[in-house]
Amino acid sequence: MNPSATPTAIPPHWQNLVHTGVPDSEPVLNSLELDLDVDLHFKHSLLLLTSQGLLCLDALGQIKPFPYQNGSALRQHDHAGLGTLTLFLGETRIAFWRYTLSLDPAVQRFIHQFDRLRDSSTSGLPLVPEVQACCEQCGADLLEGHCPQCDNAEERPPSTWTLLRLWRFARPYRWQLLSGFLLMLASTAATLVPPYLTMPLMDKVLIPYQNGTPIDTITVSWLLAGLFGSAMMAWGLGWAKTYILALVSERIGADLRTETYEHLLKLSLEYFGGKRTGDLMARIGSESDRICVFLSLHLLDFATDLLMIAMTAAILISINPWLALVTLLPLPIIAWMIHKVRDKLRTGFEKIDRVWSQVSNVLADTIPGIRVVKAFAQEDREATRFRAANASNLQVNDHINKIWSLFSPSVTLLTEIGLLVVWAFGIWLVSRDQITVGVLTAFLAYISRFYARLDSMSRIVSVTQKAASGAKRIFDILDHVSSVPEPTSPTHLNQISGRITLRDAGFRYGNRAVIKGLNLDIAPGEMIGLVGHSGSGKSTLVNLMCRFYDVSEGSISIDGVNIRQLPIAEYRGNIGLVLQEPFLFFGSIAENIAYGKPDASRAEIVAAARAAHAHEFILRLPHGYDSLVGERGHGLSGGERQRISIARALLIDPRILILDEATASVDTETEKEIQKALDNLVQGRTTIAIAHRLSTLHKADRLVVLDRGEIVEIGNHDELISRQGAYYRLYLAQARNVDADIDDRAENEVIV
């Protein structure tokens, strides 16, 4: 492979400086644009790799060369979103550069290339070829030619025409919608008949009567029958249309809710970690309801109004174009007003939504934590917090209402002025014998309806905005691509043996690297104990193995297949998980045990419970396996709940078993019980156990000692003890029965 096999294009705005500054004899093999200077200002500089060494180019075109030397090395570390790249010679710092963490993958690759070029330059040997196809952006393994990390990173804001996207949910009901629309058309037409009939009633009956002609009873009966008939038609058709469309919109709302919830369930734990329960509940519950109301009531009304306006306009123009023109004049003015206010109201309603979720967040925080609130007697504080959230709700609402309250009367005023103009112009036309009195009456009858509709139409602005912001918040969930995506062309493993391989696995939580460059090979059936003080990355590692998160660097494979290539549900079906705080759902004990395998027979459930040493205590309960357990398993002790969760893991007969501090929250006596249950569970399965108490890990084949996201020691208990390293210190600390902590050297604490 030639040196330019992995070239990084020099950014265009650097081309000139590079051409003038770097001699042609030294071709640039790699470049890295940094976005910060040493004083942490946003100023760009460029690092280049040539066959001779590293060059640093600043914005003024000044070049500092750092030739390759034996023992020169680039190293990178980061803290709080800020990265530092340091060039060392031996242990001496030669130079350092700063960058923001967005460049981190590029920096890692740059370091990698630096190492290759330095090795080749100092040894005189050709370049070591690259091993695996890696992503250009982040260095992760490519899957099907795409990088699983970077393809996800691309995010677009949702479009402003969010409401149109509801069509996706409306599509299944398009025939009902069409018939509803036709009914709407007919019923609107029916409502327009009565004013039309006032014209002959006036011109052919009343005015001739005033002029001495007797009333023609037959014509009058016909006209009155027409009025009655059209009213009945409008009633019947209106009822049918409202019913059909309400039915459809209710279904659309339900579909929306269900789909949002289903999508939400598929999102990774990362998403849930960053969201608050109250907010998510509000989105799925009330927002979808608001959209539903919008569809069934407001949108329907609006469409009817639009139709009515169009039809009225057509009728008016057909009767008298000039009067029609004058009548319709205020329409564009009102439309312009609506448009003006729309923007203000939209931002306002988005604000109200946010403030509203603040209010529900206070509730969602306090109610589950009510014991803490009461224990610390902070009811008043929480009440104040709620009041404050409500106050800001009021404040935002007040602001909106100021605009809003001005809006409606203004429309009414315009209506009155419009009527005035029609009267004036109409009287003038009548006086010039251009139109009859009947025509003027019909016009007035039409436009009083017409303007009344305009008034209610102006209301559509706010409800549309409300519904649109609601839809946006729902689509925020629907658009969120799971950071743990399903593979596009999944590989299926029929029978997995349980070999887990971690290669250079790394994981970042926010800007904190929690797992760094982890390599571990776990044989089928092996039991691994993960040891380390809290915060060393044990639980994160387990979460990565379960694919609750995806690694940000490197890969995790099972039986040699990257776990990203396996369908998620199929993969997790092979994993049994026992957590420190077992979660029991509301339902019977049997249902809880069979959670991972709902079709399990009663005999299977009992067998699993027996193996988990849960059988006997379950039998002692008044309703046995049918006993109900509450949300957090009220009525059962910690050990009992734990054994139920072990039975749950046993029932699915997983090849891989993960025990995350399974015995941490129970007393020693119960622990023994659980331990017996666990021993049954562990047999023949690849097991990864996290335990704070080292005594629980005696059976482990290998112990992996983690410290700050890195493996510091691997070996069995005896080896690690004889090595007298980190594990030994941990073991001694526990043996002394003091708080366990790797290298506990807490001393020299001075308070200034």
Partner 1 sequence: MSGLELQLQRDPSGQLIYTDAAGNEHHNVHVVRAYPISAPDEGISLLGDDGHELIWIATLTGLSASSRIIVETELATREFMPKIASLKSVSSYATPSVWKITTDRGDTTLTLKAEDHIRRLNDTALLITDSQGISFLIADSAKLDRHSKKLLDRFL
The residues that touch partner 1, with contacts defined as CB under 8 A, are: 35-36, 40-43, 79-82, 86, 88, 91-93, 96, 100-102, 155-158, 160, 274-276, 347, 350-351, 354, 472, 476, 510-512, 708, 742-743, 745-746, 748-752
| Residues 389 and 360: beta-carbon distance below 8 Å | no
CA nearest to 639, candidates 616, 605, 606:
616
Nearer to partner 1, 157 or 212 (CB): 157
Please report how close the Cβ of residue 743 comes to partner 1 at its closest, in angstroms: 5
| Closer of 80 and 125 to partner 1 (Cβ) | 80
Cβ closest to partner 1, residue 43 vs residue 459: 43
Strands 628-629 and 702-707: unpaired
* Cβ-proximal residues to 400 (8 Å cutoff; 6+ apart), any chain: 345, 348, 349, 351, 352
CB closer to partner 1 out of 40 and 372: 40
CA atoms within 13 A on the CB side of 301: 16
Report how far residue 517's alpha carbon sits from residue 531's, in angstroms, rounded to the nearest whole number: 17
Structure tokens at 523: 């044989």
Q: Which residues contact 593 (CB under 8 A, 6 or more apart)?
A: 600, 605, 608, 609, 614, 625, 644, 647, 648, 651
Q: Which is nearer to partner 1, 513 or 577 (CB)?
A: 513
Q: How far does Cα 415 stand from its chain's mean position?
A: 45
For residue 591, the minimal CB distance to partner 1 (Å) is 35
Nearest-approach distance from CB 100 to partner 1, in angstroms: 6
708 or 717: CB nearest partner 1: 708
Classified as helix, coil or strand, 151 is helix
Distance in Å, CB of 45 to partner 1, minimum: 13
HSE toward the beta carbon, residue 62, CA cutoff 13 A? 3
Nearest to partner 1 of 11, 81 (CB atom) = 81
3-state secondary structure of 684: coil
For residue 199 the two structure tokens come to: 């014209």
Closest CA to 524 of 661, 716, 688: 688
Sheet with 45-50, strands from edge to edge, namely: 28-34, 45-50, 53-58, 63-67
What tokens appear for 511 in the block?
Answer: 């800007």
By beta-carbon proximity to partner 1, the closer residue of 551 and 614 is 551
Cα separation, 48 vs 114, in Å, equals: 10
Enumerate the H helices of 171-267 as residue ranges.
174-191, 193-200, 207-210, 217-266
Tokens representing 578 are: 């026992």
Strands (E), 417-485: none
* Nearer to partner 1 (CB atom), residue 387 or residue 623: 387
Could you tell me the smallest distance in angstroms from the CB atom of residue 365 to partner 1?
Answer: 14
**Joined tokens for residue 593:** 């045990």
Complex with partner 1: residue 158 or 200, whichever CB lies closer: 158
The least CB distance from residue 230 to partner 1, in Å, is 46
Which CB atom, from 25 or from 92, has the smaller least distance to partner 1? 92
Smallest separation, CB 580 to partner 1 (Å): 23
Q: Phi/psi of residue 96, each to 5°? A: -145, 155
Q: What pairs with residue 86 in β-bridges?
A: 75, 96
Q: Rounded to the nearest whole angstrom, what is the least distance from the CB of residue 157 to partner 1 in the complex?
A: 4
Q: By the 8 A CB rule, do 249 and 292 touch?
A: yes
- Strands 527-531 and 702-707, bridge-based pairing: parallel
Query: Using an 8 Å Cβ cutoff, are 14 and 57 in contact?
Result: yes
Q: Are strands 575-578 and 561-562 parallel, antiparallel or unpaired?
A: unpaired
Tell me how far, at minimum, the Cβ of 387 lies from partner 1, in Å. Answer: 16
**Least distance CB 42 / partner 1 (angstroms):** 3
Work out the angle between the directed axes of helices 193-200 and 437-479 (0-180°, nearest 10). Answer: 170
* Cβ nearer to partner 1, comparing 72 with 304: 72
Would you say 223 or 531 has its CB closer to partner 1?
Answer: 531
In the bound complex, what is the minimum distance in angstroms from residue 44's beta carbon to partner 1?
10
Alpha helices, H only, 320-329: 321-328
Q: Nearest approach, Cβ of 81 to partner 1 (angstroms)?
A: 4
Minimum separation from the CB atom of position 750 to partner 1 (A)? 5
| Three-state secondary structure call for residue 234 | helix
Smallest gap from residue 351 Cβ to partner 1 (A): 7
Q: 471 or 611, CB closer to partner 1? A: 471
Select from 216, 198, 224 the least CA-distant residue to 439: 198
